[in-house]
Every structure is written in structure tokens, then in C-alpha cells.
Amino acid sequence: MALTPLVYWAQRHEDIYLRVELTDVQNIDVHVDENVLHFSAQGHGAKGQNEYKFSLDFLLPVKPQVSYKSTQRQVNITVHKIQRGWWERLTLRERKPVFLAPDFDRWLDESDAEMEIREKVRVQLGFVSLKTVFLIVYNLVQFLGFSWIFINMTVRLFIIGIDSLYDTFHTISDVMFFCQILALVEVLNAAFGVVKTGVIPTLIQVVGRNFILFIIFGSLEEMHHKPVVFFVFYLWSAIEIFRYPFYMLGCFNTEWKTLTWLRYTVWMPLYPLGVLAEALAVIQSIPIFDESKLFSIPLTKVIGTSVSFSYFLYIYLVLMFLGLFINFSHLYKQRKRRFRTKKRKAN
């Protein structure tokens, strides 16, 4: 014969909390059927080891989905109200079941529950505000950095002419190093959910750029004076001077239509051109790596040779164009979703 356990209850505006006093619980069955909660389980209660059951016919409608968590000492059940509000009692009948009592560990009256909600909202708003400030500062710093690079290179090209292509690394690299190291933050933002974007596309772009900047350009002095540095830096900065202010305005829930169009359109020709410029830089660096043996992997003295770093670069060229396809597809889908949503809103 099934017995009835002791059940304690409390409520909030959106949920009902039940605590069933049973230890060493097994074979738990909790479900809601026609607004009645049914519970059954094997456990040790007030009358020893036995099967325990109870039912509760709720005062107002609840959702059929029920969550519960059992510990060694009790079973905690959460029932979700369909309509947010404060109930005057738990059950449809005014007379309280004898096995039911208030859970004073969680009990709050309506005013205290409202204060609890306001405190949670205040904490959430504080977190959102802190996150927003962080994103605004980050995007502003990156915008200023890439704007300086773009304007500096443009002015030098007009004043000095074609000769400016040969000393781009020495005049621009410090700021570019700073911006690209800082861009690693974007990978962390995506990984920890600070921004809603894919981790893999972000990782491919940031790691790919830093590989070109630090390994291909930074480690080979012979690459510092090649015009390809100018084209890589110029194409990178031309994309970013539209991307970062777009993100910055998004932090204020503000949109400038011209900037939105530029952000989702300019990259379409510039991004593939940037990858082609990066690929050209890799191809130009291969003979230099072969000659200098830099980053080559020495083999045993019996073999008497080493594995050139250029073999890795050939593989990297293939991965680079694979990454181009993945990133381009991701960004193109973003563009389609963006303008499809705007079209719906306009209609």
C-alpha cells in the first residue's frame, strides 16, 4: 500500500516549488496531467522504506513540463505557471491537504518576491551595462587603429607615390601588430557568448591574419620591403573601418543604413582580394624559408636533412582557400538574413 510523503511548497510569480521529504529515492515518476501533479517513488519517508504517492490539483493552470532534482535527503520539484501571477493558495480546494505545508526556507510573500525579481533585474542590467561598455571601448579602439592605418597609407600613397609601397611594414606594422593581437579578444567573446557569432569563422580569420602578420611578414626581414605588405594591410583596414563602427552602433541599438549597407557589401570584393594578397605573400615567402631554413624541422643525422617549413606553407595555402569558402559562406548568409529581416520590417 502506497503512503503519502511530507510535501513543502513555496511560490514565485512564475514558478511553484515543491520539496518532497524522502531519502534514498528510486523509481521517481513526476508528471502533470490535466493540471494535476502526480508523484510516485520508492524511498525512506516518515513511515520508513516504502512506496510514496501524492497528487495535487493546482488552483490555476500550469505547464505540463515539470523539472525535478533528487538528492539523498529530498526531491525538489519545479512547476511552471502558465500565467505569471501570485496565487492565494496552491490547490483548487480551499482545504489544504494534510501532507502539505509551507516551505519556510524558500517562503516569500508577494512583496518580497517582487523585491527579489527587481534585485535580479538590477544585477542583470549591471552585467549588460558592463558588457556594453566593454564592447563599445573595444570596437572604438579597433576602429581608431584601423582608421589610422588606412588614412596613413592613403596619404602616403598620394604624397610619396609608388615608393610608399616598399616601406609599409616599417611605418605601419606597430599599429597593425597591436590591432591584430587585440583581435584575439573576438575569439574569446564568441567562445564565452559575449557576442552572438560563430567561434570557428572568427578563429579562422583572426589566426589566419596573425599567421600572415607574425610568421610571413614579421619573421622574414626580406618580406618587409615587398609591395604585397601594402596590399594586405590596405585591404584588411578597408574592411575593418566599416565593420567596427557598425558593431559600435549596435551596442547603442542604433543603425545607420548607409553604414549597414557598406558593412555587408564592401567585404564581398575586398575579403577575397585580401585572401589572394595573403596567398601571394605566402608564395613569395616560400623560397626565403627554403634558403634560410627558418622553422625547418631537423631530422636525424642518419638521414642528414630537414623538413622545410615550406611544405607546411603549401598545406596552409590549401587551408587558406578552404577558410575563404567557409568564412565567405558564413558572411554571405549573415548578409542575406540581415537584409531579409529589414525587408520584412519594411513591409
Instruction: Write out the catalytic residue numbers.
Output: 271, 278
* Number of other residues whose CB lies within 10 A of the CB of residue 250: 17
CA dist., res. 23 & res. 218, Å (int): 65
User: Is the Cβ–Cβ distance between 17 and 9 less than 8 Å?
Assistant: yes
Q: 313, 307, 310: which is closest to 289 by C-alpha? A: 310
CA dist., res. 33 & res. 114, Å (int): 30
Q: How far is CA 263 from CA 189, 199, 239, 252, in A?
A: 20, 20, 8, 17
* Number of other residues whose CB lies within 10 A of the CB of residue 51: 13
Instruction: Give the number of C-alpha atoms closer than 13 A to the C-alpha of residue 338, restricted to the C-beta side.
Output: 15
